[in-house]
Every structure is written in structure tokens, then in C-alpha cells.
Amino acid sequence: MKTDLSKVNKYRIRRGQLASTDDFGPNGAFYIPHFNEASTLSFQVIASNSDGWEHVSVSLPKRTPTWDEMCFIKDLFWEDEEVVMQLHPRKSDYINMHKHCLHLWKPTSGDIVTPPKSFVGF
């Protein structure tokens, strides 16, 4: 993760079971506020970088994050031109530990192949 840590360290959870320090780099747990015209939300985010994967889980207490909200979190942890993905795993590999949690993934080696932009639109 090429995270600008100044963007996320101020939201790092520093006490309790999920506590970490700035020495953990982009890894750790965070409560990240997000302001929109309707309300202020606080995302619970857990970030890790191990075993060949960069990973960020994003959850809200009462609903699943939207696409735009996931883009907001993606922009905090990765650069604009980095490709990250949300996955729909095999049914046999599916694990749901939180009803309203989504995940962003990026392999640490190699690039994620994307289809041509023209497949989506003009």
C-alpha cells in the first residue's frame, strides 16, 4: 500500500483490542469519518499487508458501504492509478463475519488485469 500515512494515522485506533501505533505503517484498525450532505459516517477499517496481499475491510454498523464510500476508502489507502478489487469468492470459500463489511484487495506482486475500458462504455 502506498498510503500517505498522514491521511489515516489520525484515525488509527490506539486503545483496546484493535490498538496499533504509527509504527505499524498502513496496517491496523481505524475509525474513519466521512461527511456527506446527509450525515457523518464513521467507517471501521482494518488494513493489512501480508502473505502477498494488501487488504482493507470496510464496515458500517447498520448498512453496507456504497460504491462511492468504498472509492473514498480506496483513495485513502492506495494511489489513484493503482488497481484494487472487490471479489466474489467461490461459494465454498465464502466467509461472512460481519453483515455490512466489504473488502478491497491488491496482490503485492504483479498487476491486476482489467478489461478494456470500451467494454464498459465510451
Note whether 41 and 34 are within 8 A (CB): yes
**Whole-angstrom distance, CA of residue 28 vs CA of residue 22:** 9
Which domains does the chain possess?
A: 5-113 (3.40.1720)
Alpha carbons within 13 A on the beta-carbon side of 96: 7
- With cut-offs at 50, 70 and 90, classify the pLDDT of residue 115: very high
**Whole-angstrom distance, CA of residue 61 vs CA of residue 117:** 34
Arithmetic mean of pLDDT, 59-74: 95
**Whole-angstrom distance, CA of residue 38 vs CA of residue 91:** 36
Look at residue 38 in the predicted model and tell me its pLDDT: 74
In the numeric block, the cell 493489512 is attached to 48
E strand spans, 14-119: 28-35, 40-50, 53-59, 101-107
pLDDT tens-place string over residues 10-52: 999 999 999 999 999 889 999 999 887 777 889 999 999 999 9
What global pTM score does this model have?
0.89
Look at residue 35 in the predicted model and tell me its pLDDT: 83
Q: Is the pLDDT of residue 96 over 90?
A: no
